[in-house]
Amino acid sequence: MSKKFWLALCAGMLAMQVGAALAQATVSTPPPTANTPEAMVRQTLLKLVPKAKIEQIMPAPLPGFYQVIASGHLVYISSDGKYVMNGQLIDATKGTSLTDDAWAVYRKTELAKVPVSDRIVFAPENPKYTVTVFTDVTCPYCRVLHEQIKALNKEGIAVQYLAWPRSGVTGEDGQPTPTYKEMVSIWCASDRNDAFTEAKKGRDPKSADCKNPVKDQFDLGLKLGVTGTPAVYAEDGALIGGYLTPAQMLQAVQEHSTKGG
């Protein structure tokens, strides 16, 4: 999805450049009917990527630009709709990424909307930290991470899993993918945690179906820019991994902890 998005964006930008050159060589065209910066920004993005799902448009830290989150991507578009920038926006005075900060704020807000009851949680009695992990039961590094769940809990880290079948919800034939069906069976099991752990060992869960959040969680992952598993998020919404060892995870969550902040 990421590759298709940016191919469409690049193609659209090229088309705009050609169109602008032609306009300069002929009679000037009337100004756009949109009369607000937000409308201009929206119009520009949809001209480049017609099927983009726009989630957020807001003023960017860069004067004269808007920050746009759409289809799992964050870009900057000028308020007149003429310019699009893709990449990290760095605060040179602090040496920090304003793009990463914006993603973290957005992800924290969206992840907070997922009820704990819709997650599969492995936590110590009194957790000091919590991470949210988009996972796939067939992903090798997801399995390695889960093999270390006791060590993570021992470090005071609660792990809250969300479903993200890497093969998608439906295949090219329009039918549910095997991984999606397997994850639905886990989320519908009478003991989710046990079914989840067994699946991580390569043991197929008992087939089951019920009202479940697997598709919604997969769609949320796309919205937040997830492209693979495991995708590990700290409490402040920052992406801290990929696979991390318990020691690496502890260091990362301590750096991003919002406790007392």
Catalytic residues: 136, 139, 142, 166
Coil/strand/helix, residue 141: helix
Give the H or E element holding residue 222: helix 214-223
Which residue in 121, 137, 110, 152 sits closest to 244, CA to CA? 152
Q: Are 122 and 153 in contact (CB under 8 A)?
A: yes
Sign of CA dihedral 58, 233, 90, 4: negative
Q: What's the one-letter identity of residue 260?
A: G
Question: CA-CA distance, 89 to 71, in Å (whole number)?
Answer: 19
